[in-house]
Structure 1
Amino acid sequence: MKRLAALILLATLSAKALAFEPFIVSDIRIDGLSRISQGTVLNYLPVNKGERLTTERAQAAIRALYNTKFFSDVQVDREGDIMVIKVIERPSIAKLALRGNKDIKEEDLRKGLKEIGLSEGETFDRLSLDRVQQELIRQYYNRGKYNVSVDPHVVNLDRNRVSIDIEIREGKVAKIKEINIVGNTAFLDKDIRKDFESDTTNWMSWYSKDDQYSREKLSGDLEKLQSYYMDRGYADFGVDSTQVTIAPDKRAMYISASVKEGEIYTVSDIHLLGEMVIPEESMRKLVFQKQGETFNRKAIEASTDAMKSILASIGYAFAKVTPVPKLDKEKRTVDLTLFIEPGKRVYVRRVVFQGNTRTEDGVLRREMRQLEGSWYSQPAIDRSKIRLQHLGYFKKVDVDKKLVPGTEDQVDLTVKVEEQSAGSLMFGVGYSQYSGIILSASVSQNNFLGTGDSFSVAAQRSNYSTSVSATYFNPYLTDSGIGIGYQAAFTKSDYGDTNSDFVNYTSSNKSFSAFLNFPITDFDSLRAGLGISSNKINLTYDYIDPTTGQLYSSSASPQQLIDYQNAIGHKTIHTWNGNLSWTHDTRNGYWAPTRGGLMTLSTDIALPGSTVQYYKIFGEANHYWPIGAGFVLYLDGQVGYGKTYGQTYDYDGGTSYKKGDPVDFPFWENYYAGGVRDVRGFQDNTLGPKLCVGTNPDGTPIQPVNGKCTGGYYTYAQPIGGAFKVLGTAQVFLPLPFLKDVNTARVSWFMDVGNVYQDYSSFKASELRASTGLSLQWQAPIGPLIINFAVPIRSKDEDRHYEERIQFTFGSQF
């Protein structure tokens, strides 16, 4: 057949190249050009002026011009000593339209068409159009749409152009009506099919689309079927045949698979063969399939993966571990051999970065734990990738390895990053049920001029607070990774203007601090800082109605706060602050981690010489676990503790505080609980101790009863927080098909438990509050958005006033 095709082609070309005596070409003339320049044709022509033209060379010229795909007809003629080439140009594609494609995105479709030369501006080739038609039909078949039709329409235009309109009628996906497994006796159909992606139509099919047939899904399900048996000892299991039948209307699919279960095998012996670059005893510890156990392919695969991983950690980047099972069908045993091929030990010659158009190479290189000139280490590469992701500058980080040409022991690493915006100039409007309307403006840059330094200047105003702050941080003051930062801030707050019944007082706080960050390991760091602040606390005294003694103005402060301020003798609080914190971070992502965790422990101390001397200790530990099928479990625990030291009251403060007594913990440093980011289902900061406004006839402060105050202006007691806090959260992130990018949005089911107490000695487990519900977190263009639907499941009568089923906040928060 090949010889016949060659003869036909030769005859065709010979007919178009008229027979002539060989001659020397004095000139070349090309007839029939309209769109393509003569110079372009001459570049492809294998004949030049002054050369001898034979029939064979004329045929070669015709073939060369045909291969350009510019022409539908090419002929070679002669006028004297002039070579005359007559061509008919193929039309150009003036317009390419696609209609009806929904399952395949137009962007992806046009990209595929362009790769085979079918795009606007290219020359039109009917054969290419036919290939496109068949390829599209094949792709839709793979998606289970067997009644698809693809109709290309070609319209001739003036100036040798065409317009192509590809009309696609996708039709409906064929639904699976039956799945029959024939030959299974050891397990029920429902057990072996529980992990299948394919299923017959059921009440969840609208969501999972599992009843839509796909060849790829079926192939994967058959692999799962084989794994199910082989993980349970059936070492000679096999799928004998698979039959897929489609109904005449191409809307229903019937799947049948015939299997041979075989027998259950046990492992009689395990051998390790090959080149042992690691002691065999150490390698055997990585074998999870044990002698005498039932054959388990999953355990064997885990063993080979562990061995390859340990070899890759010491430079054997291309190691292979091949399991070779030898079945004894009479004894029903498996003699298992793991053949180890470490290959050449390689080192990294060069690390190259791609995609970092804004970020300096040095910023990326200092995060790399795989160094040039050192042995290849997969754990070091994996850690480098995580560190780069933690920077927050990149949407995506990939690391590719490639052998250096001509060598067997060198590789080059290419770190490919996709940058995202690391800075912003933002003017925002947000809303919080606690803070009300939030107006904010900020200039921030987490990767200043590509150096990795960060700074921000921000201003914000809400119903109760106005703040301005400036922060700068250099994470690499030294090459060893010691960082330095500075922060200055001013905040003015009127807590009586919050949208909850918060305790009434105002504060005006100015502060400045500096800190150093010390890396200990890749996962651990220490931060130490010093700061100074001045905080003016304003309380309201003019609240007693001289007639009744029970009516108070709307700006009144609780008597305990007034007594406390009188006892310390200062309205303006000066504080020298020292802080020390430790962080252990093993999370695998910056915005939306799926594994690993974060542990922090911090201590803040108001140093001697401060108006009030105190210390605060706060600890938090959380962790993420992927639990299969896209679900992620998250657990978090927090404990906060505060106490004063080495100080007594200078003056008497009513009946509550006496001169010489130890100073109590300052109320403006209290912990709080409840809210959209805390114990959800309760208003922000409303759990825990509460105070009433006013005094009893004997001068003692009024105490709340079931969260209410007797007499006075206020009906409900005002939350004041406490010096001891406990919080626990369990959360499961849900895999929802309409939320493909978990880095942008996540939905979770949660349960929160927690409360705050006046001090540690006041802690009672019976006072813990709890709630459960659903939460949506979205990194929206306007800033982070959080929406919670929460139901308190453990509360008391005093909490009813502060419960909230729907909680949300959006906009930039600082």
Structure 2
Amino acid sequence: MKRIAALILLACFAAKARAFEPFVISGIRVDGLQRIAPGTVFSYLPVDKGETLTPQRAKETIKALFATGFFSDIALDRQGDVLVVQVVERPTIARIDIRGNKDIKTDELMSGLKQIGLSEGDTFDRLALDRVQQELTHQYYNRGKYNVSITPHVTRLDRNRVAIDIDIREGKAARIQEINLVGNHVYSSAQIRSDWESGTPSWNSWYTNNDQYSREKLSGDLDRLQNYYLDRGYANFQISSAQVTISPNKENMYIAANMIEGHLYKVSSVKLLGKLVLPEDALMRLVLLKPGETFSRAKAEYTSKAITALLANVGYAFAKVTPVPKLDKENHTVALTFFIEPGQRVYVRRIIFVGNTSTEDLVLRREMRQFEGGWYSQAAIDRSKIRLQRLGFFSKVTITNERVPGSTDQVDLKVKVKEEPSGALQFGLGYAQVTGIIGSVSVSERNFMGTGKQISAQVQQSSYLKSYVFSYLDPYFTQSGISLGYNLSYTVLNQGQANIASYLYNTKAFSTYIGIPISETDTINLGLGLSSNVINTYQGLTPQSLIDYQNQIGHKTIHAWTSSISYAHDTRNQYFTPSRGGLQYISAEIAMPGSTVEYYKLSAQSSNYFPLPADFVLGLNGSVGYGGTYGKDSNLAFPFWQNYYAGGVTDVRGYQDNTLGPKEFVPGYTTGQPIGGAFKVRGAVNLFLPLPFLKDSNTARVAVFYDTGNVFSTYSQFHWGGLASSVGIGLQWRAPIGPIDISYAFPVHYSPADAPFISHLQFTFGSAF
């Protein structure tokens, strides 16, 4: 067909040019232009003034102008010795509208149209419109939608323009009804297909869409089939054929894959060849395959990556390590050779930051563990990326290297970040029958004016609470990374309206602390604080044990000056939604001698995250807290105003805030008042689920959880049967209006005294800026 079209086009050229007798061109005029400038046409003309126009040159002229794609018709004429070029411009595309697409986003479809030469503002070509149908149909076929119907419409507009409307009827995706594996004897079909994306209809297909046919998914599954055997020693495994059959109604798919398993191969020898820039013993320690072991391509590739990573850590940024297996088909053995090409050792010339419109370069640069002028180190770059991610200022961090033009031993690092709101403006509004409306507002900025400093202020106001809190933290008070922070607060609180025993608590406090980094992942914090507390208890409202305690110490005003020390070990890979690593934290606080009551508090917590197959993440969290008295007050119980409490959306979910643990009845009340305790334990198991409709798992994630914990009067009162627990589902969402945390929990084990405080649906939210 192409050859016939070319012959017809050449015939047209000949017809439009044969009337010319050769003449010398004294001038050139272009007629028929509407949008295109004459200069553009002249730039494409192969002839010029002063040249003799022959029939052959006329043909070349017409062919050159047609090749531009700007014109639907071209003719050459002569007025005297002036060459007249008469053209008819193709119309331009004023707009393209796509309707009916649900499975493929409009942006993706528009990008595909642009690649085949059809986009708004371009010259309209009817042939390109035909290619559109083919391309879009192909895209839907790849997604298993064989009933798709694509109908383009072209509407003529004024000023030689057209509008293109593309109507799409996607139809239903073809479903896989059967998958047959033929030729497998060593492993069952169920074993082989355990990690396949394609599957037959099952109870969870509505969620996973595993039974929806896709050419890409099947291609990936066939690769998994081959890897399954190659990773288990079957080095000459082959897929002899794969067939896909579709039903006449184009809704059901049947897949068959034929294989030849081959023989099990053992490793006969392992060698390293090439330029060994490091001692051979150091490299051989990274080899996972030893002579006599079953061959595994996965282990060979892991070894290759490990050696490459080691070389990258000492400056060989572009090292290549290629595993070359040599099969002995008679003895069923593999001689494995790793060919090492380290390339040129390079150092980093410059580090360039991109995307930090609000955050100063200094804030990013001080987190970098790869330095300018130093040898390239992949380990240092990976660590730098994690530190930047854990700042919480960026939703995405990518680091790439680029060779310096004209140099063989230098690279530049480009650190590209995508900033996200680092501040939060939170409003709280609640209502209770006793207290009425409760309002609060807090402002916090973790990246104040792009400096990385943290500032927050909070004001809460209701009929039972007045609270004013201000805090400041400079994470780099010194260049070595020592941090300095302050907290200042004033609170007047009727504890009885906060699900705590009824007493009035008035406190003024100031504290300061410094953080000292001792390694990449470890920090020690030291703090000093002063506080003055006025506690008012009321006969007939306050539990008697609290009144007795206050009478025992003989003071309403409680003074304390405290010192604290804590240690944190942080290996999380993300700030908001970690998927690996953990945070371990232990702390000790002591009210120093001279305080009204001499007490101490010890606490520890651990959060760990483990990536699982299919993008699942397991989160294990636990904490414990213990308090007591010492010195002159060692005969006293732990002060009740320092007690631990449990329950709430950020604690043991499914129970109202602070309501778990010891309670004391006051005459005239039907429920006990929570009084807290000196010992607390809490644990949680979260299984974070991948959301198939969400590409960025850092934005939102859902978890099914099991929470357990409680508060006890003292450690001696602790017993496993006293722990309350719940199960449920939760959503963490970094929404445009701010972070949202929602949970729906079902308490499964609790004491009768906790029953009045069950709360299934709980949430917190705030607005980000």
Identify the TM-score tier after normalising by the shorter chain. Answer: over 0.9
Deviation of residue 240 (structure 1)? 0.6
Partner SS state of residue 224, structure 2: helix
Deviation (angstroms), 1:380:
0.9
How far apart are the structure 1 equivalents of 2:221 and 2:401?
Answer: 32
Counterpart for residue 764 of structure 1: 719
Q: Which residue of 1 aligns with 2:741?
A: 786
The two structures have a TM-score, normalised by structure 1, of: 0.88
Q: Does 1:795 align with 2:768?
A: no
DSSP 3-state at the match of 2:670: coil
Q: Which stretch has the larger CA shift, 594-603 or 121-130?
A: 121-130
Question: Are the structure 2 counterparts of residues 301 and 785 from structure 1 closer, same or farther at C-alpha, using a change threshold of 3 Å?
Answer: same
Q: AA paired with 1:686?
A: T
Aligned AA for 2:608? H
Taking the aligned partners of 2:397 and 2:370, their CA distance within structure 1 comes to 15
Give the 3 Å change call, closer, same or farther, for CA 65–388 of structure 1 in structure 2. farther
Alignment of 1:251-266 (within 5 A): 251-266=251-266
- Please tell me whether residue 21 in structure 1 is matched to residue 22 in structure 2: yes
Deviation at 1:88, TM superposition (A): 0.6
Note if contact 1:288-1:299 (Cα within 8 Å) is conserved in structure 2: yes
Q: Which residue identity lines up with residue 634 of structure 1 in the other structure?
A: G
Quote the residue 1:690 is aligned against: 663
What are the within-5 Å matches in structure 2 for residues 227-242 of structure 1? 227-242=227-242
CA spacing shift, 1:332–1:306, aligned 2, 3 Å: same
Note closer, same or farther for the CA distance 1:77–1:359 as it changes in structure 2 (3 Å cut): farther
1:752 aligns to 2:725 (yes or no):
no
For 1:406 and 1:635, the matched residues in 2 are separated by: 51
Tell me the matched-pair count: 767
**Structure 2 counterpart of 1:511, one-letter code:** A
1:507 shift after superposition = 1.1
Q: Which of the numbers 565, 590, 610 marks the counterpart of 1:580?
A: 565
Q: Does structure 1 conserve the Cα–Cα contact (< 8 Å) formed by 2:424 and 2:767?
A: no
- Once residues 154 and 210 of structure 1 are traced to their aligned partners in structure 2, the CA distance between those partners, rounded to angstroms, is 38
Going from structure 1 to structure 2, the CA distance change for 1:343 and 1:682 (only over 3 Å counts) comes to: same
State whether residues 452 and 475 of structure 1, in contact with CA within 8 Å, keep that contact through their aligned partners in structure 2: yes
How does 1:428-443 map onto structure 2 within 5 Å? 428-429=428-429, 439-443=439-443
Counterpart in 2 of 1:108? Answer: 108
Kindly indicate whether the alpha-carbon contact (under 8 Å) linking 1:509 and 1:535 is maintained by their aligned counterparts in 2. yes
Aligned-partner Cα distance in 2 for 1:777–1:464: 30
**Cα distance between partner residues in 1 of 2:191 and 2:231:** 14
- 3-state SS of 1:647 partner: helix
Show the 5 A alignment for 1:614-653: 614-648=599-633
8 Å contact kept, 1:241–1:258: yes
Cα distance, 1:581–1:463 mapped onto 2, change above 3 Å = farther
Instruction: Tell me which of 502, 517, 529 is aligned to 2:515.
Output: 517
CA separation in 1, counterparts of 2:644 and 2:427? Answer: 30
C-alpha contact (below 8 Å) 1:463/1:497 kept by paired residues: no
1:715 aligns with 2:670: yes
Are 2:722 and 1:724 equivalent residues in the alignment? no
Contact kept, 8 Å, 2:579 with 2:610, in 1: the verdict is yes
Q: 1:305 to 1:405 in 2, by over 3 A?
A: same
Aligned to 1:480: 480
8 Å Cα contact 1:22/1:55 also seen in 2: no
Change (3 A) 1:111 1:535: farther
Answer yes or no: is 1:559 the counterpart of 2:544.
yes
Q: CA deviation at 1:463?
A: 6.6
- Between the aligned partners of 2:67 and 2:432, the Cα distance in structure 1 is 67
1:652 corresponds to: none
- SS of the equivalent of 1:244 reads strand
Higher deviation after alignment, 315-324 or 69-78: 69-78
SS in 2 for 1:113: helix
The CA deviation at 1:397 is: 0.8
1:806–1:432: structure 2 CA closer, same or farther, 3 Å change rule?
A: farther
Counterpart contact for 1:430–1:809, Cα < 8 Å: no
Quick one: distance in 2 between partners of 1:622 and 1:616?
20
Q: Which moved more, 1:267-276 or 1:428-437?
A: 428-437
Match of 2:382 in 1: 382
Q: Distance in 2 between matches of 1:688 and 1:425?
A: 33
Distance in 1 between the 2:436 and 2:343 partners? Answer: 64
Q: Which moved more, 1:664-673 or 1:519-528?
A: 519-528
How do 1:219-234 and structure 2 match up within 5 A? 219-234=219-234
Mapping 1:132-171, distance limit 5 Å: 132-171=132-171
- Is 1:739–1:746's contact at 8 Å kept on the other side of the alignment? no
Structure 2: distance between partners of 1:528 and 1:65 = 79
The answer to whether structure 1 residue 332 and structure 2 residue 332 are counterparts is: yes
Deviation at 1:459, TM superposition (A): 1.8
- Displacement of 1:285 in angstroms is 1.7
- The Cα offsets for residues 300-349 of structure 1, whole Å up to 9 and x where unpaired, read as 22222222221211112222222222222222222222222222222112
Q: What amino acid does structure 1 have at the position aligned with 2:380?
A: A
Contact 1:265/1:295 (CA < 8 Å) preserved in 2?
yes
**Matches for 1:357-368 after TM superposition, within 5 Å:** 357-368=357-368
* Pairs within 5 Å for 1:51-450: 62-429=62-429, 439-450=439-450
**What amino acid maps onto 1:193 in structure 2?**
R
CA–CA distance in 2 between the matches of 1:512 and 1:60?
88
C-alpha change, 1:724 and 1:33, in structure 2 (3 Å) is same
Query: Structure 2: which amino acid aligns with 1:90?
Result: R
Contact 2:109–2:136 under 8 Å retained in 1: no
Q: How much is the aligned-residue C-alpha RMSD, in angstroms?
A: 2.8
- Asked if the contact 2:426–2:765 (Cα under 8 Å) also holds between the matched residues in 1, the reply is no
Secondary structure at 2:308's aligned position in 1?
helix
Cα offset, 1:136, TM superposition? 0.6
1:59 and 1:618, CA in 2 relative to 1: closer, same or farther beyond 3 A? Answer: farther
CA contact (8 A) 1:428 1:812 kept: no
Structure 1: which 5+ runs fail to align? 544-555, 649-660, 694-711
**How far apart in 1 are the matches of 2:211 and 2:305?**
34
The DSSP-based 3-state class of the residue aligned with 2:196 is coil
In structure 2, the partner of 1:703 is: none
Counterpart CA distance in 1 for 2:505 and 2:247 is 76
For structure 2, which runs of at least 5 residues remain unmatched after alignment?
none
TM-score, length of structure 2 as denominator length? 0.93
Report the secondary structure of 1:488's partner residue.
Answer: strand
Looking at structure 2, the residues matched to 772 and 587 of structure 1 have their Cα atoms a distance apart, in angstroms, of: 25
Q: C-alpha offsets along residues 627-646 of structure 1, whole Å, 9 cap, x if unaligned?
A: 21122111122121222233
- CA displacement at 1:3 relative to structure 2: 10
Residue 63 of structure 1: how far off its partner (Å): 4.9
1:96 partner SS: strand
The C-alpha deviation readout for 1:748-792, integer Å capped at 9, x for no partner, is: 222233222223343334433333333333334454433333344
